[in-house]
Structure 1
């Protein structure tokens, strides 16, 4: 509606100026041939002005703009031979068009010359000083009105296009969030369920009571996974790094992985968003360990250094992949990178060799102790093409 209204105001103003010019010509009591000629010229000027006032005309080729301006210039000055100063208002249309189509310096220079050009027919018709000033002022005003209304229409159109683009971007961003959160939440839960089911199968013949306890835990994890899926629809749920540390320690112990946890009470000093993001990093790190390594030992540490908290997950049993993961996959560690960048942090994944010449994998997440000014999700999508931190993924 706003775009149509702005366009309607522009067309109405142009029609009014054309109507005034035609009424001035009628007052000269010309013959039918000259009236028809005036009407044709007015229609052509009107159509050319609509083209010049259209949104996006500034992006047209230079040759097209020059030819159309030349045509309007001819229609603005040639009819002065037949209709005299009554046709002078059409020079105002031409003045507005040069402002719209030409670069600023050339446009304003030609605008000023067009305004002063009306002095020539005025002098040739022996007009007084007042009439000469009036003609120049009318031309200047008409040019400014045409230019201003045309620019206003163009800006309104650009605004609504930008709003439509932002709406599409928001939808795309929400789809990305949904898929990313599902991966981060369900990947961990399903890996734990699979692990515990294998454990239950081994325990049933030898320790049925322990097997029943594991089944109860599987049910709890399944219910939590279902609740997580429901929460994803309304936004990513808040998580606690301390709770995830305890859960990860339990899960890794059940998988016969010796776990060492060293936090120095860092989890108690974290802001809510930072704690949630680092808990997500821990979940993904443990999920990768269970899926893609044959680890027997895992060391998890969280340390606060100044205003930065550093979470590190180190495990042995690294399986070297012969097929490197695409850096554009958009899941797993790629999701974690985006989450950390949202709060001004970074992610580093490394393959290392320890003192016993054993290949190990270290996942390090650095984040501000308390987030200050998180970047919006929409900005993240726009900035998605920027260079990411280097990484090596612990995947098979």
Structure 2
């Protein structure tokens, strides 16, 4: 339903075509009025007026539903629906019971175009108007039973879909807000950590520099000692900063799994992820987990960019092997691409090198449905540092 964009403004040519087709396919139920115009025995003048009225109704209905979500005022939408209802009433009273089906379109467009609080009243009101007209038109009561339920259910269904789309949009906006707040909090944490790391060191360097400056003319040996202390403090500060930055840059598997969910969903790919978004054992080495997180990021990036897949399955398993316990990541898609960029340091070659430095391994293979990547890293033991400086 999201590809059709019910309740949303189509923003791309593809969405416009999809929404036009979605609106047009339901016009098949206008077969009864068309058949009445062709075989109902009406005069030529009545037929011309009937075709003209039907064409105006279809164009107005399609424009109303297609433009839903473009910021029209509620008053304009209500006026458009009133015009459609008036057309339906006039055509049904003038041409016969076959034209009662137009009220179903009025009810459906009420659910699609009106706010939920108003559609709750507009849909039953449309059904009541159709009932009144049906009891007035000769033979209309026989059509009433087959049209009343579709009018009520169609309008209610469209109102529900519109509300669902609106809720989805609100959730996406809320997710973006939460992400922005999390980024702001991370900046604040980085600022606090850097202040804690460098504040004391820089204050000490400043103090010792002033002392060295005052000692230099009369006590060069003591000034040299102060300069040596400054060198030691600055070296330690540099080590602390490097360790802090390395920690910030080290990805975690839980975070990458959450990011994979967002990336795959945004690309229109169905994501099947582990139910536990933090599957790493407590004794897992941080560098090994980091290498596996980089592998997941690289694999998902390639699935989104190169595979053309519709579904991607991610599994994280703990296994016991002859070489000890390992954590295994499997990423499998049903696309036609191999997901490889072929560039050393950025594609699968760089990923294999990263895993090897962490004591792990990488396997890739074609499957019957697509492409599969398996990355393994040891857990429970220290591993070689991963090269966090490269990647996609």
Q: TM-score, normalised by structure 1?
A: 0.48
| Structure having the higher Rg | 1
